Amino acid sequence: QTEIQWWHAMGGELGAKLEEITKGFNDAQDEYTVVPSYKGTYPETMTAAIAAFRAQQQPAVVQVFEVGTGTMMAAEGAIVPVHQLMADQGAAFDPQAYLPAVVGYYTDTEGNMLSLPFNSSTPIVYYNKTMFEKAGLDPDTPPETWAELEEFSAKIRDSGAGTCGFTTQWISWIQTENLSAWHNQPIGTEGNGFGGLSARLTLNGPVQVKHWENLKRLSDEGVFKYGGPVGGDNAAPMFYSQDCAMYMASSASRAGVIANAKDFEVGYGMLPFYDDVEGAPQNSIIGGASLWVLSGRPDEEYAGVAKFFEYLSTPAVQADWASFSGYLPITQAAMEQMADFYAQNPGADTGIRQITLNAPTENSKGLRFGNYVQIRGIIDEEFEQLLSGSKDAQGALDAVVERGNALLEEFQAQNQ
């Protein structure tokens, strides 16, 4: 038997489901055993894989979050492009089967898909219907705009239903990148980096500045509670404990929310928007991750990886994973299989409706920048400067642009 190492970043309920899916493949044939290993957060998993590659101890497959795509695409000798792997191994692979928002993200400028889409998400609003009722709010109506979100938060706090209006995961992904796409604002030049390595950040525009200013004010007022850097791991507990009535998080936080919302009913809503921004709401962008194949492993492992990827791409596996997790159905076929599930689980389709709300523009089809994992770290650092009062919103976002652009220049110089 050939063992195939798969490093991933899925913890909790998602990790358990990933192992169950892998077992399904291992049990169905006897040539290969895929061994999944949890390596921590997305940035930790990516860093571990890069270090392992340098030490020639890399796994065959690694799960890399969507914002690592620019860096992975540039690492030409280190990766085996998925379209090439599947062709070399004579495996079935149809990039056209994937939804356009997904294909575009993982395809190079020649139209080749370089990694295998596996888990695509988008951020949504989870809200506590039980707290809404206590506050005299309609439990079936989530806030549509930021003004409503503030109004609802005031009612939650004034009525004593909760101490905090809302919290959020990922200041970078949700409150900066998606905020921008949702309001049809660019975050960088060259179509948010899709046009090439000369792209530079522009995420210090008036809409982003106004939004960060609001988050600072709401934080000072106690309406918003910050969940911490990177994914904002402290946010979920504040929602589960019913301190905060609303929680902006990945659609794939659904599995965790269902498991932890023991004493209350959960509602689902789209991200709020500013109704004075023309073109909002536009569409949100994907998050999550894809599977990259690393070079330098024995040939027999690649034959097994191709078989495993065929299995992961079947509509049944995709639909099972998406229904359980809240990740989006990433192929047309999986989406069709999920029609009954969506009909029986109101709100579970919020993410897919939001990401397809309008045809994507240059500002809302995603982003592709090198060194972006580090740039996300800068976004977190500057947001904390804002919260502590050391900088105002304009100053913090200007600093993100200046420091981020230095990293983009460095990346361009190294990869041209």
Ligand X SMILES: O=P(O)(O)OC[C@H](O)CO
Stretch in the footprint of ligand X (CB under 6 A) among 61-69, 130-138, 350-358, 382-390? 61-69
Q: Is 13 in the site for ligand X (CB under 6 A)?
A: no
Q: Is 287 in the site for ligand X (CB under 6 A)?
A: yes
Nearer to ligand X, 238 or 289 (CB): 289
- The sign of the torsion formed by the CA atoms of 10, 13, 15, 18 equals negative
Binding mask 95-134 for ligand X (x = CB under 6 A): ------------------------x-x-------------
Nearer to ligand X among residue 67 and residue 116 (C-beta) = 67
For residues 137 to 176, the per-residue mask of contacts with ligand X, x marking binding by CB under 6 A and - elsewhere, is ---------------------------------x--x---
- Chain-centroid distance of CA 194 in Å reads 18
The region of 50-58, 65-73, 136-144, 309-317 touching ligand X under the rule CB under 6 A is 65-73
Contact by Cβ (8 Å): 271, 284: yes
> What distance in Å separates the CA atoms of residue 338 and residue 328, rounded to the nearest whole number?
10
**80 contacts ligand X (rule: CB under 6 A):** no
Binding to ligand X in span 214-253, by CB under 6 A = 250, 252
**Residue 142 tokens, joined:** 């989530």
Please give the residues from 252 up to 281 whose contact with ligand X meets the rule CB under 6 A.
Answer: 252
Residue nearest to ligand X (CB): 287
State which residue, 153 or 290, has the beta carbon closest to ligand X.
290
Of 177, 357, 352, nearest in space to 281 by CA: 357
* Window contacting ligand X (CB under 6 A); options: 31-39, 62-70, 73-81, 178-186: 62-70
3-state secondary structure the chain: CEEEEEEECCCHHHHHHHHHHHHHHHHHCCCEEEEEEECCCHHHHHHHHHHHHHCCCCCCEEEEEHHHHHHHHHCHHHEECHHHHHHHCCCCCCHHHECHHHHHHCECCCCCECCEEEEEECEEEEEEHHHHHHCCCCCCCCCCEHHHHHHHHHHHHHCCCCCEEEEECCCCHHHHHHHHHHCCCCCEHHHHCCCCCCCCECCCCHHHHHHHHHHHHHHHHCCEECCCCCCCCCHHHHHHCCCEEEEEEEHHHHHHHHHHCCCCCEEEECCCECCCCCCCCCCCCCEEEEEEEECCCCHHHHHHHHHHHHHHCCHHHHHHHHHHHCCCCCEHHHHHHCHHHHHHCCCCCHHHHHHCCCCCCCCCCCCCCCCHHHHHHHHHHHHHHHHHCCCCHHHHHHHHHHHHHHHHHHHHHHHC
Question: Which listed residue (65, 239, 273, 411) binds ligand X by CB under 6 A?
Answer: 65
42 binds ligand X (CB under 6 A): yes
Question: Applying CB under 6 A, does 373 fall inside the site for ligand X?
Answer: no
Residue 42 C-beta: closest distance to ligand X, Å: 6
- Window contacting ligand X (CB under 6 A); options: 59-67, 108-116, 179-187, 311-319: 59-67
- Please identify, using beta-carbon distances, which residue of 32 and 194 lies nearer to ligand X: 194
Task: Report how many residues bind ligand X under the rule CB under 6 A.
Answer: 13
User: Judged by CB, which is closer to ligand X: 42, or 166?
Assistant: 42
How near is the Cβ of 279 to ligand X at its closest, in Å? 23
Least Å from the CB of residue 303 to ligand X:
29
The piece of 31-39, 269-277, 285-293, 399-407 that touches ligand X (CB under 6 A) is 285-293
Binding site for ligand X (CB under 6 A): 42, 65-67, 119, 121, 170, 173, 250, 252, 287-289
